[in-house]
Structure 1
């Protein structure tokens, strides 16, 4: 009797599980990265990378979603934003990200940069203009320029360019889960994008923990 009941229960569960598995499909909602790219996550962690740029209006619109999503991340997920570099303006803004991070001012000015570029329409297309802007926000101008143009920052920019090529990034915002899966907003919108990321994190979690 128990075997028959269990079999019946499994028969009911199986279609639901199959539906959950097919909710997000490779090639439609995400793309597999082949070969996988090594992560920087600690042992037992799942890495989620966001490729973004302050120059990208879609990234600016995505920011409230990503901020809310980050607040509820489980402990085994490591989130790593990476500024994309597609042209000279984007490089200046990527250097800005790293310089402000090094100076301890990134958290305070991250949202301010999106606001300045996309709401206030400030022309922050080069490091000199950006230096003037961050100086107005209390950041030492000379120290900022030194950090933005340092050999360390240049090396980071080069590594991140190579990483974006390995991920085959075609636009921003894009998210990469554990170096294996690429998710963009085009297939599902911003909230849907994060739901796909959560799904892929779940797929990766058993192997990492």
Structure 2
């Protein structure tokens, strides 16, 4: 898959070089270049792709099987992280904290994705904190994690700073649509920029990511030749 991405990048940018206005046509309203002052306010990392998703979002749920393997197509020097949306709601707090607990655990990636799939599948049936706590308990048990450990950490406020930081980052980046993706701390794209079409969003995500990779390589080449 990484070989395919490299080939795609080369072909894509050969086309851009042949038409001076192709970049504007391809990316018109397709991504947002984050201004410097915005990037400096939040902890954005170069060569990292942050995927902002909502367990309550039907589009995020439908894209989940694809996104579990999409990160594997990135070059080895790039990383991919899931960022759950957090709003001022007890259910969102608990759900995001539980994912943070799972993400930080030592279980395999396949089990982490299994946990996410379980939450995506059964969350629509949840209407209160008691039901969510039960769903999280069953989902953690299913992947071999201790609900008592999570409950203790959550009850002691271990995730409070994380949750507040998530809310603050989302506000600064103006993330109002899910899924949204921040690429390399430079570019933001989201489902709304593909007119709400998941298939077009994947195409857009691939193109913007390739654009970022190309720009980084161009900058590296310029630095090397100086």
Q: TM-score range by the shorter chain?
A: 0.7 to 0.9
Which stretch of the first structure deviates more once superposed, 126-135 or 82-91? 126-135
Shift of 1:170: 0.8
In terms of Rg, which structure is larger? Answer: 1
Partner of 1:3: none
RMSD: 2.9
Q: Is the 8 A contact 1:174 1:182 kept in 2?
A: yes
Between the aligned partners of 1:198 and 1:161, the Cα distance in structure 2 is 28
- Report the CA distance between 1:169 and its aligned residue: 0.3
Answer 1 or 2: which has greater helix percent.
2
1:191 to 197, 202, 205: 202
**What are structure 2's unaligned runs of at least 5 residues?**
1-14, 195-199, 222-226
Q: 1:201 to 1:30 in 2, by over 3 A?
A: same
User: TM-score, normalised to structure 2's length?
Assistant: 0.71
Greater mean alpha carbon deviation, residues 57-66 or residues 31-40: 31-40
Q: What is the aligned length?
A: 193
Structure 1 residues 1-209: aligned runs within 5 Å: 16-18=18-20, 20-26=22-28, 28-34=29-35, 35-38=37-40, 39-41=43-45, 45-88=46-89, 89-105=91-107, 107=109, 108-118=111-121, 121-123=124-126, 126=129, 128-137=133-142, 138-188=144-194, 189-195=200-206, 196-207=208-219
Cα distance in structure 2, aligned partners of 1:145 and 1:197 = 37
C-alpha separation between the residues in 1 aligned to 2:77 and 2:113? 24
